[in-house]
Amino acid sequence: MKDHLLSAADLSRDDAILVLDTSAEMAQLTEGRSVKKLPTLRGRAVVNLFFEDSTRTRTSFELAAKRLSADVVNFSAKGSSVSKGESLKDTALTLEAMGADCVVVRHWASGAPHRLAYSGWIRSSVVNAGDGTHEHPTQAILDAYTLRKHLGSVDGRRITIVGDVLHSRVARSNVLLLATLGAEVTLVAPPTLLPVGVEHWPCQTSYDLDSVLVKADAVMMLRVQRERMNAAFFPSAREYSRRYGLDARRFALLPDDAVVLHPGPMNRGMEITAEVADSDRSVIVEQVTNGVYVRMAVLYLLLAGGRE
């Protein structure tokens, strides 16, 4: 792996398989054990630098770093000197001056992690924990890990990603990583919620969810990201759910062994009904568990260089 993890496109097929296999080892080393800690990153410091809200990503990076015995600092822009106007550069310099070895950054601006990694401001490894509407590579890795667990392999599998692709960094990172791993990805969304240039992405697109679901090995529902919408992208929530929501009728169209994913947080009743979200073929809670193993693997490979 390179020094940073900024995009799912940073991972070659071999890199992606290495991270997935290392995640499986992390799971094996910690699952079911009363003491889940490994000494691997003792003396190293990981800073979680969050300029945007998070539940899963921030806590799982924290837990992952702690399980590897690293010191962890959680920094959120709210309540920090960012509110006094301090820049990203000065914030990063300040944190590195305290000895950060790795900066895990979530930012509302697409490209902020790249700026941190390549501006020469800091020497630490940078991990993108979600930048604007751009990318969320560790989410894509945990999704691929979850798919691999349930489908055996991702290669040749048909994965359907549904909803607000336009605002979704999860969709972009997933399309890139799943294509690298050999999956056939289809994006389903209203035309207004597909990004310009999507025809150049390594996937297919459709507006007809029912016809795609019958052939899917897995379906990933995306959150409708109202906080990023400054206009009306669909007539009403009811209309959106009717055309693009996963309800019991649509769920029944899926092949029997297909699984349902959602990165969270969910809008229950909007893109997915509670009945489907809580069904035994939903792997949404398991995605969160797998996120800890994947983030352990990423921190280990970046900071210990896979040495031990």
The residues binding ligand ASP (CB under 6 A) are: 130, 136, 169-170, 223, 225, 263-264
Of 29 and 264, which CB lies nearer to ligand CP in the complex structure?
264
Compare residues 50 and 300 and give the one whose CB is closer to ligand CP: 50
Q: Measure the CA–CA gap between 4 and 119, rounded to whole angstroms.
A: 13
Cβ nearer to ligand ASP, comparing 94 with 111: 111
The option from ligand ASP, ligand CP, none interacting with 66 (CB < 5 to 8 A, set by class) reads none
Residue nearest to ligand ASP (CB): 223
What is the rounded CA–CA span in Å between residue 83 and residue 157? Answer: 46
Which is nearer to ligand ASP, 224 or 302 (by Cβ)? 224
Phi/psi of residue 275, nearest 5 degrees:
-60, -45
Q: Which does 55 bind (CB under 5 to 8 A by kind): ligand ASP, ligand CP, none?
A: ligand CP
Phi, psi of 162 (to 5 degrees): -125, 130
Output 44 or 169, the one with its CB closest to ligand ASP: 169
Least distance CB 84 / ligand ASP (angstroms):
26
Q: In angstroms, what CA-CA distances link 74 with 81, 82, 120?
A: 14, 14, 23
φ, ψ at 100 (rounded to 5°): -70, 135
Q: Shortest distance, CB of residue 174 to ligand CP, whole angstroms?
A: 12
- State the minimum distance, in angstroms, from the CB of residue 57 to ligand CP: 3
- Read out DSSP for 99-161? T-SEEEEEESSTTHHHHHHHSSS--SEEEEEEETTTB-HHHHHHHHHHHHHHHS--TT-EEEE
Largest CA distance in the chain: 56
Closest distance between ligand ASP and the C-beta of residue 173, in Å?
9
User: What is the side-by-side strand order in the sheet with 158-162?
Assistant: 204-206, 184-188, 158-162, 218-221, 259-261
For the record, the structure tokens of 182 come out as 């050999």
Q: How far is the CB of 227 from ligand ASP (least distance, A)?
A: 9
Select the binding partner of residue 138 from ligand CP, ligand ASP, none (C-beta < 5 to 8 A, by kind).
none
User: How far apart are CB 255 and ligand ASP at their closest, in Å?
Assistant: 26
Q: Which residues bind ligand CP (CB under 6 A)?
A: 54-57, 130, 139, 263-265
**Least distance from ligand CP to the Cβ atom of residue 229, Å:** 17
Show the tokens assigned to 112: 């902020």
Compute how many other C-beta atoms are within 10 angstroms of the C-beta atom of residue 99. 13
Q: Which residues 6+ apart lie within 8 Å of 9 measured at CB?
A: 176, 180
Q: For residue 209, what are the contacts with CB-CB under 8 A and spacing of at least 6?
A: 160, 162, 188, 243, 244, 250
Q: Which is nearer to ligand ASP, 284 or 303 (CB)?
A: 284
> Which is nearer to ligand ASP, 137 or 263 (by Cβ)?
263
**CA-closest candidate to residue 262, choices 278, 249, 240, 239:** 278
Smallest gap from Cβ 287 to ligand CP, in A, equals: 8
Specify the residue, 57 or 267, whose C-beta has the smaller distance to ligand CP.
57
